[in-house]
Amino acid sequence: MNIGCHGLVWTGTFDAEGIRRAVEKTAQAGFDLIEFPLMDPFSFDVTAAKDALAEHGLAVSASLGLSEATDITSADPAVVAAGEALLIRAVDVLAELGGEHFCGVIYSAMRKYMEPATPEGVASSRAVVGRVADHAAARGVRVALEVVNRYETNVLNTGRQALAYLAEVDRPNLGVHLDTYHMNIEESDMFQPVLDTSALLQYVHIGESHRGYLGTGSVDFDTFFKALGRIGYGGPIVFESFSSAVVAEDLSRMLGIWRNLWTDGDELGAHANRFIRDRLIAVDSIRLH
């Protein structure tokens, strides 16, 4: 099992220098894996990332949120095509880096919609996601759809919605990505969605209710980790935290990161790494009860 950290904990700029810094800091904080935000996979410096990952011995994953210009639920075929091209390029970048998990809000734009998703929009999304999953499968990459809150998509807000979506686009490498920050807003509790999605759960984000220090908000992490233990979850568990101390122009604005919840990323990352590993150790002992 890989315990990971989102790159935006360390830098908002993913040029060669930012990539090197994020990889070094992630390794120093004790994590096994870095998740790169591939908001623009066409400009991502694959060579710099490859070298940094090799130097620090880190595993890698990638995520992104589509924009209005690349929304695959759009009624405009040109926008859908741009979204599919971006997703395909992101999979290729991740495969070149040796990563096995591609995730995020990759089935719609990541934004506040002012209207519900249309059946046509969801059908378009399913068709593209199916093709992206097939492209990924040929490269040894798994694809997981991140279930997020109502202010960041109008398609998948709960685990059950993800199951319904996936029932009609069935691919062996396609699954669900749960995030505790979003679950805390939309789900009934932190246990049942993990059980409901267990057969398809491929990726997990650990975030606090305000996206700051773990354990200082309202997310019921003890219950969530018990649920992961109950289903024998073995996929990546990746820490996400965002503060106005580190700003990525595209991502931070979209996520509404207006406040400074921490200043020292080194301490925050090391704390999160311990927090996650401590809970996994504790939960593993439940089998002895």
Residues that bind Mn ion (CB under 5 A): 179, 205, 240
Catalytic residue among 100, 146, 187, 208: 146
Cβ(155)–Cβ(165) below 8 Å: yes
Q: Which is nearer to Mn ion, 205 or 279 (CB)?
A: 205
Bridge partners, residue 206, by sequence: 239
From the CB of 80, what's the least distance to Mn ion, in Å?
24
35 catalytically annotated: no
Angstrom CA distances, 274 to 4, 154, 205, 277, 281, stand at 11, 34, 15, 5, 10
From the CB of 289, what's the least distance to Mn ion, in Å?
31
Neighbours of 172 (CB within 10 A): 8
68 catalytically annotated: no
From the CB of 120, what's the least distance to Mn ion, in Å?
27
Q: Which is nearer to Mn ion, 140 or 256 (CB)?
A: 256
Q: Which is nearer to Mn ion, 32 or 179 (CB)?
A: 179
Angstrom CA distances, 262 to 111, 180, 210, 232, stand at 25, 19, 11, 33
Q: Which residues of 213-241 are buried (b: 16+ CB within 10 A; e: fewer)?
A: bbeebebebeebbbbbbeeebebbbbbbb
From the CB of 263, what's the least distance to Mn ion, in Å?
22
Q: Which is nearer to Mn ion, 80 or 103 (CB)?
A: 103
Neighbours of 158 (CB within 10 A): 20
Going 259 to 265 to 271 to 273, the CA torsion angle's sign is: positive
Catalytic amino acids? 146, 240
